[in-house]
Structures are given as structure tokens and as C-alpha cells.
Amino acid sequence: METRLVSENDDFITLRIPKKAGGTMLESENFIQSLLNEAGVLATAATLKRFDTNGQPIVVNGVKMTSMGLTNKIYQSPYGPVAIKRHIYQTSAGGAIHCPLEKDARIIITSTPKFAKMVASKFSGRDARGVARDFSEDHGRPVSLCLIQNIADMVGSFSQTADESWDYSIPEQKMPVKTISMGLDGTCMLMVEGQWRQAMVGTIALYDRLGERLHTTYIGAPPEFGRETFLKRLEKAFQATRIRYPRALKMGLADGAPSNWEFLEKHTDT
């Protein structure tokens, strides 16, 4: 018995899902979950096709590209691998290929957005083996360790790029800001290659006249060679806060590492 697609149109996807009689409740639940995963794969395949073209020539960044025909591709979804055919484009001169479906559906490597979000969320609290076990036991969905790591790395690189380019606005405070506190710390981490690299974290906190914290901006950086990228981001955020609250006391907070104090003494009063 298997789930199958009955019909589809612009408004509905109709699936036929079989029912299993007998067995324990747990066996029945596992069977239902497997059927729903099959349904999810079929529905995802039908949905992905909405983001493809009809094969007509397209223009990308002012350059005309033509379809090389429908080619097979497997995409990873929360319910399982989804195999479909989609159009791949290239210019008449050759060169790089372009896939409209992957661009418009926001595919990450080979992952749908929802699946990438699930992997990144789970990976933030456990290692790749734990994530794989979670998917297998709780979702009935086997996932390889390599796929988990690749998706998590890609999502992380997107987040880091956005974090470096965005400026986060400070919400209006109900109480006057009397103190701005800037803190930072770092730790050396042993990398897979056997090298030690430093990961950094920092905070910019606002306090009222009684010392009650009003707001905190958190800044972090993954392990890098040196701390220059992190310090530039922290300094940029602190300068913006100083401009907004020019009369506030500027306080530095850190442990005894001399390099921390060399940085803080340039920007704080105490």
C-alpha cells in the first residue's frame, strides 16, 4: 500500500492515502506517519513545479538564456527526498547554468526552505548525529550526517553575512538611559584541522539611573584568525549607541585579558 496522487489543479492537490487495520497503536502511528511523509513528498513535488518555467527562453540580468530541457533532480524536504524534473538554462555561448525553480523556490543547496530551517534549528542545540537521530525517531525521516552539516553551514553563512551587513535598531526606552555598558569575551577553540582559533561574543547594554538593565544588543562571531572582524562590528554598534545617548556614562566590562582592555579603554569612560 502506498500513497498516490489522484489529481491536482491551481487550488487543490488530491491524494489517496490507504488505511492499515490491526496492529498495536504504536505500529499504527508509525504507519500513519510514513503515509503522511509520502503525502508530503507528493505535495512538495507538485508545489515545486509551480516555481518552474514552461521552457520558454528567459532573460537573466539582461542576458538571454534558453532551456537545456527537463533534467532530473532530487530535493530534500521535511518529508523525504523529492524527485522531479525541472528546466535548466544556459546562454548560447555556454558557461554557467541557471535554474529558475531553485531561485524562485529559495532552494538552499538541495533543501527546501522549511527543511533547511528545521535542520538549522535542531543543529543549534545538538550535534549532527543528534539531529539525524531526531529526524529518524521523531519524523520518520532518515537524513545523512553530511547533508545536515552542509545545510547548517550554508544557513550559518547566510546568517553571518546578513548580521555583518544589517544595522539593528534600538527600540525606544521608557526610562532615560544613564549608562551604556560594552562587554566582550573570547575563547580559543580547537578546529578539526588541529588549529586553535578564537570565537568572540560581545554585548552593548543600556541601564537606567538605578542600574536596571533596559535593553541589550548581542554580537557574536564564529572562530576566525584574529578578532578584527568581530571588533569592527562591535565598535560600529557601540558608536551608533553613543551617538543616540551622548550624555550616558560609557562603561567597559571584561575579564583580565589585556587585549580586551586595550580595546575598551579607547571607547569607554570607566
Q: What is the pLDDT of residues 28-58, one digit of tens each?
A: 888 889 989 999 999 999 999 999 999 999 9
pLDDT value at residue 160: 61
| In-domain check, residue 257 | yes
pLDDT over 90 for what percent of the chain?
A: 60
| In-domain check, residue 91 | no
Domain that includes residue 240, residue range? 179-264
pLDDT value at residue 3: 81
pLDDT value at residue 205: 96
- For residue 248, pLDDT over 90 is answered with yes
| In-domain check, residue 141 | no
Torsion from C-alpha of 77, 80, 84, 87, nearest 10 degrees: 30
Tens of pLDDT, residue by residue over 96-154, are: 999 999 999 999 999 999 999 999 999 988 899 999 999 999 999 999 999 999 998 88
| In-domain check, residue 41 | no
Cβ(82)–Cβ(48) below 8 Å: yes
Q: pLDDT grade, residue 167 (50/70/90)? A: low
As a whole number of angstroms, the distance between CA 109 and CA 74 comes to 11
pLDDT value at residue 169: 72
pLDDT value at residue 12: 85
Q: First vs last Cα of the chain: how many Å apart?
A: 72
Q: pLDDT grade, residue 163 (50/70/90)? A: low
| In-domain check, residue 89 | no
Neighbours of 23 (CB within 10 A): 11
C-alpha cell at 245: 545617548
Domain count across the chain: 1
As a whole number of angstroms, the distance between CA 179 and CA 183 comes to 13
189: domain CATH number? Answer: 3.30.420.10
**Long-range own/partner contacts, residues 45-49 (CB < 8 A, 24 or more apart):** 45/82, 45/83, 45/84, 46/5, 46/8, 46/13, 47/13, 48/75, 48/82, 48/84, 48/86, 48/101, 48/105, 48/112, 49/84, 49/86, 49/101
Cβ(93)–Cβ(83) below 8 Å: no
| In-domain check, residue 269 | no
Interacting residues of 154 by C-beta distance below 8 A, sequence separation 6+: 108, 109, 116
Tens of pLDDT, residue by residue over 206-222, are: 999 999 999 999 988 87
Q: pLDDT grade, residue 162 (50/70/90)? A: low
Q: At what angle do helices 128-139 and 145-165 cross, to 10 degrees?
A: 110
Range with lowest mean pLDDT among 10-24, 93-107, 191-205, 248-262: 10-24
| In-domain check, residue 229 | yes
Average pLDDT over residues 253-261: 90
| In-domain check, residue 254 | yes
C-alpha cell at 221: 562571531
Task: Please tell me whether residue 240 adopts helix, strand or coil conformation.
Answer: helix
